[in-house]
Each structure stands twice: as structure tokens, then as C-alpha cells.
Amino acid sequence: MIFDYTPGNLLVVELDKRKHLSKIFYDYWNADDKTLTPILYGLSRGLVESIVDREIGTNSRPVIIVETMSDAMYLNAFDKFLQDPNISMNPLNVVAAYNKNSVLPLAIFYRNHGYRTFILLDNSEESKQISAQLVSNEFSPIQTIFFEREGKNLESIEDYVVLEDYIHAVNQTYEIRLRKEGYSNLTSRDVTLKEKKGVLDNLKKIWEDHRDDDWGQFDNEEITRYICEKITLEETDFLSDKTKDQFRSLYRLIAERIRQYQNVVTKSDLAKFQRARI
């Protein structure tokens, strides 16, 4: 356990596996991210304490809990990309759950600490079970938002990206990563021929078909990072107007649910979930 984070009092030692030498960081904040992760738990103590403070919760922006880091990255990146103040995510705190199993307890925790809490889910069977568990724990159906477009359920947030746009990002990423494994650029037809429900399942099937070619597993988070980085660099010519419109529809859906909830919830509704102060 670390008790003193004062610069100069905490040293970090990392092993350089290539040189078989140890490197000492006096400025520990410049160490490798994996080294920093356990330290951040201590550095962020003030953040954690603010989360459990009900006075902060009741006066904070609404929280929207998402199932994956990719969901959080897309929500933030496309919000910046679209720059539409009428449907901006800025009035929200986007919280990425560690995994699907942590969505329910995380939602209950935030709700019980005074936060107006919403949950964004994909349409997998596991997520539908989460939705049922949320209702059993007195969440309103208004607070649970499933990915959908024009009345049709979507399997993942990636399905808001036009297929051609998404395949461009896949090809740009994997033609480098799998160059030695004989990767050749995919087409939209290659993907749709797999006849799965969503783009991710289709791509995972393609990767399974190439298991013997050492393609490994399809990593959708790498594609997320590619797209979000291009948004940051303003190199977005490959993203079509249709992709933008489809993300606008997601933001409108979220905004509408928040508006509906605010119209029906009362202070007493929020207060009943908060434990009495000791």
C-alpha cells in the first residue's frame, strides 16, 4: 500500500526486457501506463470519494453507463465530430463498465448515490437479461436504452457506422497488422455474405475462417481507436454523411429518454434509493 505520492518520495522501477536493465522513474507519472494503473487508484482517491458523496451526485450531470470502452470512445468522439449543441453528450458523464457483469451493480451504485442514471445496451441476450435485472431493481424502462435505428434493433454501436466506412477502417488497420499473414482488403460483400446479425459478428466469422492463417481474433477496439484517432486529427473523409446522421439518431434517442425521465421523476423518487446518513 502506498501512502505518500509526493513527487520525489515515490520511485517506480521498470524492467527493460530487451536490455535486461532496470529503469528508475523519479517522475513516476511518466512511467508505462501498466505501471501507473495501480498508482492511479491512489492518486484518484479524491475522484472516488467525490463519486460516493451524495451531495455531489444529486447535483451532477446525468450518468450514462455503457458496456464497453468502445461505446464510450465512440460517444465522445462523434460528439466532438458532429458539434451539434442540441444533441451533445456534454451534459452527460459517460461511464464505461469493466464488463457486462459490472453494468448492473454499477448502475445501482450510481442511482443509490443520487445520480440520474441511464444505461446504454446492445441487443445481445446477455444485455436483455441485464435490462430485466434493472427493472427488478426498480429502474424505469425509460432509463435503459438499447441501440436502435429507425425502429430496428442494432447489435452494437459499430452498426451506426455505415458498413463501407467501417470496412475502410478495418482494411487500414489490418493490411498493416496482418501483412505477413496474407491479409487482403475486405469488401462490404465479403462481410454481408456471412449473414450474421451485425458487423462485428460478421467480421468475427471471417477471422474464424482464417484461423489457420494466424489472423488471431478480430479486435474491434483497435478499429474504434483508428476511427477516433482520425476524428481527433480531422482526417474524416472516409466517414459519410449517413454515418453522421445515424449517430445523430443515437444522440437524439438518448436526449429524448433523459427528457422523458426528467418529466416523470420526482425528488422523492431519487431520495428513496439513498441510504440514510449515519
Same domain, 72 and 209: no
3-state secondary structure 151-187: CEECCCHHHHCCHHHHHHHHHHHHHHHCCCCCCCCCC
pLDDT at 275: 57
Residue 196 lies in a domain: yes
Task: Name the nearest CA neighbour of 254 among 114, 100, 109, 74.
Answer: 74
Residue 23 lies in a domain: yes
Same domain, 133 and 195: no
pLDDT at 16: 73
CATH code for the domain of 131: 3.40.50
pLDDT at 143: 96
Q: Provide the residue range defining the domain that includes 199.
A: 163-232
How do residues 262-276 score in pLDDT, each as one tens digit? 888 765 566 666 654
Query: For every one of its 278 residues, what pLDDT tens digit does the chain have, with 9 covering 90 and above?
Result: 565 656 666 767 777 777 777 777 767 677 777 777 777 767 666 777 777 777 778 888 899 999 999 999 999 999 999 988 888 877 788 999 988 999 999 999 999 988 999 999 999 999 999 999 999 999 999 999 999 998 899 999 999 999 999 999 999 999 999 999 989 999 999 999 988 889 999 999 999 999 999 999 999 999 999 999 999 999 999 999 999 999 999 999 999 999 999 888 765 566 666 654 44
CB neighbours of residue 177 within 10 Å: 13
Same domain, 154 and 167: no
Same domain, 97 and 78: yes
Name every residue whose Cβ is closer than 8 Å to that of residue 252 and which is 6 or more positions away in sequence.
Answer: 87
pLDDT at 278: 45
Same domain, 199 and 78: no
pTM (predicted TM-score): 0.83
Same domain, 102 and 189: no
Residue 178 lies in a domain: yes
pLDDT at 96: 93
pLDDT at 138: 93
- Using DSSP, how many helices (H) and how many strands (E) does the chain show? 12, 8
Could you give the number of structural domains in the chain? 3
Residue 93 lies in a domain: yes
pLDDT at 12: 73
In the chain, the DSSP E strands lie at 12-16, 21-25, 63-66, 93-96, 117-121, 144-146, 148-149, 152-153
Residue 7 lies in a domain: no
Same domain, 31 and 89: no
Same domain, 151 and 96: yes
Q: How far apart are CA 172 and CA 223, in angstroms?
A: 9
How do residues 196-232 score in pLDDT, each as one tens digit? 889 999 999 999 999 999 999 999 999 999 999 999 9
pLDDT at 27: 74
Residue 267 lies in a domain: yes
